[in-house]
Amino acid sequence: MKILFCGPTLPDAQALVGTDIVLQAPAVQGDILRATQDGATAIGLVDGHFEQVAPVWHKEILFALSKGVRVYGAASMGALRAAECMAFGMIGVGKIYHQYAAGELEDDADVALLHGPAELGYMPLTLPLVNVVATLEDLCARQQIGPAPAAQLRLAAAEIFYKHRNWRAIVARANLPHGADLKGIEARLASGTINQKRLDAVRLLDIMRSAPARRATAPEGWTFNSTSLWKRLLNQLVASS
Tell me: the pLDDT tens digits for 86-100?
999 999 999 999 999
From the list 61, 7, 6, 76, the residue with the least C-alpha distance to 29 is: 61
Find all residues with CB under 8 Å of 214, minimum gap 6, and list them. 41
Evaluate whether 8 touches 113 at the Cβ level (below 8 Å).
Answer: yes
**208: three-class secondary structure by DSSP:** helix
CA separation (Å) from 215 to 5, 18, 152, 209, 226? 18, 20, 48, 14, 21
In the structure, what pLDDT confidence band is assigned to residue 228 with cuts at 50, 70 and 90?
confident
> Structure pTM?
0.92
Q: What whole-number distance in Å separates Cα of residue 70 and Cα of residue 96?
A: 20
pLDDT tens column, 170-195: 999 999 998 889 999 999 999 999 99
Which amino acid, 82? A
Question: Which amino acid is residue 113, in one-letter code?
Answer: L
138-154: pLDDT as tens digits? 999 999 999 999 999 99
Whether pLDDT at 74 is above 70: yes
